[in-house]
A = this chain, B = another copy of it.
Amino acid sequence: MFSQSEENYLKAIYQLSSITKDGVSTNDIAKKLETKASSVSDMIKRLSEKKLIEYKKYYGVRLTKEGEHIACSVVRKHRLWEVFLVDKLNFSWDEVHDVAEQLEHIKSPKLIEELDAFLGFPKKDPHGDPIPDKHGNYHVVEKTLLSNLHPGEKGICIGVKDSSSDFLKYLDRQAVKLGDEIAVMAKEDYDDSIHIKIDKRELNISKKIASNLYIQTP
């Protein structure tokens, strides 16, 4: 069994790996986990000795098969718990993350498989992120950022890039939800803001907002 701390490092490396094909850098891990690079260096050594990552000094790390398996199962647990909190316990999507950070470390294979079944084998978490099945497989859906759409184009809002509480609450206030159809009406060159039509309403949103919303491209 692995400690919560080890699992957090593996998960961080797993998520950072998905956005680059190079090894993951010490500093990036430190930033993601809000810790110091020296702490990361220490942990990297331990994980490497346990064969959970491949590590060449000064050149970043990569997960081994086993490391990836563990990281993926932590992500699976995190997202399933988020679904549980929203679907069954009346949490809103901006409240679930911190609790899921704790719940993802509970060790019990039966628990997670039963939870999965209890929730009806959901494929996505409340933020639109895919939930790996028990073998680590998940469906990758073609998507782009709203900021990449041109006037006249449209699509379905299927996820958020930033899932910070602040951003999610902003979306709630604007009544922007996953599943909504969004059409880009116009772009303002001066500040890159865009005018959209969503659910029969018209809305003006900043570049920053648009570049944190994922749109399903048909």
Contact = CB atoms under 8 A, between A and B. Distances in A.
A27 to B, nearest CB: 29
B99 A108 contact: yes
A95 B114 CA distance: 13
Chain A binding site: helix, strand, loop or mixed by DSSP? helix
B88 A118 contact: yes
Interface string A53-96: 00000000000000000000000000000000100111100010
The complex is assembled from copies of this chain, and their number is 2
Contacts of A114: 89-91
A85 B99 contact: no
A118 B106 contact: no
Contacts of A95: 110
A186 interface: no
Contact of A89 (B85, B89, B99, B118): B118
A90 B116 CA distance: 12
A166 interface: no
20 contacts: A85-B111, A88-B118, A89-B110, A89-B111, A89-B114, A89-B115, A89-B118, A90-B114, A91-B110, A91-B114, A95-B110, A98-B108, A99-B106, A99-B108, A99-B110, A99-B111, A102-B106, A102-B107, A102-B108, A103-B106
Interface of A: 85, 88-91, 95, 98-99, 102-103, 106-108, 110-111, 114-115, 118
